[in-house]
Structure 1
């Protein structure tokens, strides 16, 4: 628990809430109910073990802050996330109700564990420890099955390692919502591309045959798309997007927008994790991804 004044409000409340939910307890020394809820909030802060941060503001001493939050009675508690108030309550509520309030807004232990495991996985990948990263991502998904970012990274890595069956098992819990989540949709399209090429006995001969069809008819979009699928399945991402652009330049809406949707899916797959940057800064974009995003925009908007 931290006592906050106007001097440290920005650092202890606004900046801190960018990373951890901050519960602000407005109180005063003369307030009887404040003396009841104060120790209870401190107990819960310890019990939640860093999942939220508790600060106290003396509304008599810090009238400017109390006024800014529109405090009209005490005790009043306000929860901030990402620098903004998101919820609050008034009065000395019992512990069960405060827990219910907190559980609506603070991350679960599993979510925190999953975020830590995922961060460790990215560090392992940066160091070339692929199998260590795979283990960390599996632990992240186990800790928080609802963490779509960790699941995306896990399925992607499994596919990159050629473990398609394991990837499908890991993807199965989110397959029902894949069409509504861009990154999950990208994974599903990639798996479909890989499945479509599993039975191609001689990929090079297939490539040559498709290129022959395209040379004979540049509007043979079925051949172009099949070639893009084959190239993508074998890790030739930019070559696949080049073929899809050829379709889009001639027929933007071909086959219910299939070329554009597949192109976007490839961008999602090849877009690397963004590095951490200082608050307010924009992380740099991968040059290849940036180039192909611009190419898509120029074709679609032309």
Structure 2
């Protein structure tokens, strides 16, 4: 372990060079540990094995919290083992405890570059250019060589959605491992598919905006208009319309407007708009 070119003992003299500056070149996995910590002793050989196996795709930096208290305090380390992944000078993800090897691999694979990531970028360019079918073919082919890359699956689902294949997109998302299901991108896409399906279920050829203009109290038209607005990224307009349906017609679709609002809140995550609209929803409920 001591002779590995991919593992470094960190102190104040090399912390900035290896962890901060180094993370602009390659991901740095920082293991905060102590000699008295039994889970730390269990975790260390697993991390060392992976560092050597990944052959420089990441660097393992070990911080003895007993000897390097200033560094540990800087990151608020209270419980160990604590492992943080640094990119571009900042911690971007972490885990605590002696996780099994397969979970650590999954943690690393979410962040480490893979050859097939180039396909994701190519597909994104085609998608932005309006070629949904061409974009879809790239991740489909690449997944045959690298089926474990979740970024390929997510891109494939996005291209399916862009082509109007909601069922196909949902089936692809269902193949993602459990730890990827809570990924913000996954949750956002699932929400978009939920509203895409609602928009598709409307009366063929009927424009919900025109229906709302003709009949402002038509709850079904306003609900489907909100779904259409989510699909076209008019989030504020959609939230306002869902609140209006909830205010005027709570019974519509077995409280469909409130449930849709919760779905949007889940899609938006930490967006500041969530608190504002959640407060408005709460006011209507009470």
- Normalising by structure 2, we get a TM-score of 0.54
Give the SS at the match of 2:68.
helix
CA–CA distance in 2 between the matches of 1:195 and 1:101? 43
Aligned pair 1:183/2:188, yes or no? yes
CA–CA distance in 1 between the matches of 2:51 and 2:182? 39
CA–CA distance in 2 between the matches of 1:146 and 1:45? 19
**1:6 counterpart residue number:** 12
**1:105 counterpart residue number:** 104
Give the SS at the match of 1:203.
coil
**2:158 counterpart residue number:** 156
**1:247 counterpart residue number:** 245
CA–CA distance in 1 between the matches of 2:127 and 2:29? 30
Question: 1:163: how far off?
Answer: 4.0
Q: Which moved more, 1:150-159 or 1:9-18?
A: 9-18
Give the SS at the match of 1:64.
coil
Contact 1:120 1:133 in 2 (8 A): no
Aligned pair 1:65/2:71, yes or no? no
Question: 1:12: how far off?
Answer: 2.7
1:52-91 → structure 2 map (5 Å cutoff): 52-55=58-61, 64-65=67-68, 80-82=83-85, 86-87=96-97
Which of 256, 259, 265 pairs up with 2:257? Answer: 259
CA–CA distance in 2 between the matches of 1:190 and 1:183? 11
1:177-216 → structure 2 map (5 Å cutoff): 182-183=187-188, 185-197=190-202, 200-204=203-207, 208-209=210-211, 211-212=213-214, 214-215=215-216
CA–CA distance in 2 between the matches of 1:41 and 1:293? 39
CA–CA distance in 1 between the matches of 2:264 and 2:234? 7
Which of 267, 277, 284 pairs up with 1:296? Answer: 277
How many residues are paired up?
243
User: Residues 162 and 228 (structure 1 numbering): CA distance in 2 closer, same or farther, change over 3 Å?
Assistant: same
User: Residues 167 and 250 (structure 1 numbering): CA distance in 2 closer, same or farther, change over 3 Å?
Assistant: same
Question: 1:186: how far off?
Answer: 0.8
User: Residues 48 and 173 (structure 1 numbering): CA distance in 2 closer, same or farther, change over 3 Å?
Assistant: closer
CA–CA distance in 1 between the matches of 2:142 and 2:164? 21
Question: 1:55: how far off?
Answer: 4.3
CA–CA distance in 1 between the matches of 2:173 and 2:47? 40
Of Structure 1 and Structure 2, the greater helix share is in: 1
Give the root-mean-square deviation of aligned CA atoms. Answer: 5.5
Extract unaligned runs of 5+ from structure 2: 36-43, 73-79, 86-90
Aligned pair 1:48/2:54, yes or no? yes
User: Residues 154 and 102 (structure 1 numbering): CA distance in 2 closer, same or farther, change over 3 Å?
Assistant: same
* Cα shift readout 1:90-141 (whole Å, capped 9, x = no counterpart): xxxxxxxxxx954442447865438935863586369748567545654676
**2:125 counterpart residue number:** 124
4+ aligned runs moved over 6 Å, structure 1: 14-18, 24-27, 40-43, 66-69, 139-142, 176-181
1:26-45 → structure 2 map (5 Å cutoff): 45=51
1:135-174 → structure 2 map (5 Å cutoff): 137-138=139-140, 143=146, 147=150, 151-164=153-166, 166-173=168-175
User: Residues 228 and 6 (structure 1 numbering): CA distance in 2 closer, same or farther, change over 3 Å?
Assistant: closer
Contact 2:123 2:155 in 1 (8 A): no
Contact 1:121 1:137 in 2 (8 A): no
User: Residues 261 and 170 (structure 1 numbering): CA distance in 2 closer, same or farther, change over 3 Å?
Assistant: same
